[in-house]
Amino acid sequence: MDKTEERAWEIIQFQGTESSVKNDEVTSEWPLTVVLNGDEFATIVCSPTDLNDLLIGFLASEGIIRSYTEITSMSIDDYKGFAYMTVDKKLDDIRNDHSKRLIGSCCGKSRQFYFKTDAKTAKTVYSRLSVSVEQCYALMEEMQQQSEQFMRTGCVHNAALAEPDHLLAVRTDIGRHNALDKIYGHLLENRIAVKNKLIVFSGRLSSEVVLKTAKIGSGIILSKSAPTDLALRLANDLQITVIGFARGSKMNVYTHPHRIMEAAMD
């Protein structure tokens, strides 16, 4: 399988009624089938970058592992589009909570919602981190400036791990949830503490995004897009500060504003 971030596509471009033939860069969409302890577990439709981070974060988000050390082996066959993983867990325990399924790159209902797994892994966040309004604006601008693939194609989401004054890691994918899983995997593999970190995000804040933020353990998620009502109810319960519509010098704080107000009063 040809694994590239982007590929050229010949298009006919119109400006008014005038047309011209050009090459356009389009983002690659790549199916990766996860074989877990010898059985096909899921197929993730993703961008073909930072796949180790994606696989580690995906297993953690699904409740299969709690730490990177529980993965005993991992290899990726780029040509066939298969990832072979073994974990230090009985296969029957995995089967009880999961079934083989397709994890779509599109947002929303293509990804199944597992309350049992979420209940095990999405915990209330007690982070004392605070961030100023100016820092929020600066972090969003920094992530957008680093989003070269989005500027070329307009077809990817970005997620970043950040401290209040700078970004630590940025991951890109066609799927919002995949981008967050890549951040999660990066955290676990490198044993990075999250108590003083926040998530900067480009996509819509759905309930799944808030649940992933809780699983990662970050108390603040900052996005340029809108939240859903279920996401906000979950964020209230899980004590996560949700900031949406962070664009230019405007933003909305929806839940737990004390983490912003405390920084403003310092």
| Catalytic center residues | 107
14 is in an annotated binding site: no
As given in the structure block, the two tokens for residue 61 are 């988000």
As given in the structure block, the two tokens for residue 114 are 């597992």
28 is in an annotated binding site: no
As given in the structure block, the two tokens for residue 86 are 């073994």
Distance (Å, whole) CA 55 – CA 85: 9
CA geometry: angle 143, 248, 185, nearest 5 deg:
25
58 is in an annotated binding site: no
235 is in an annotated binding site: no
245 is in an annotated binding site: yes
As given in the structure block, the two tokens for residue 78 are 């780029």
For residue 261, the Cα-to-chain-centroid distance in whole angstroms is 27
Residues for the chain: how many in total? 266
Q: 4 burial class (0-12, 13-18, 19+ CB within 10 angstroms)?
A: exposed
Binding annotation: 245-250
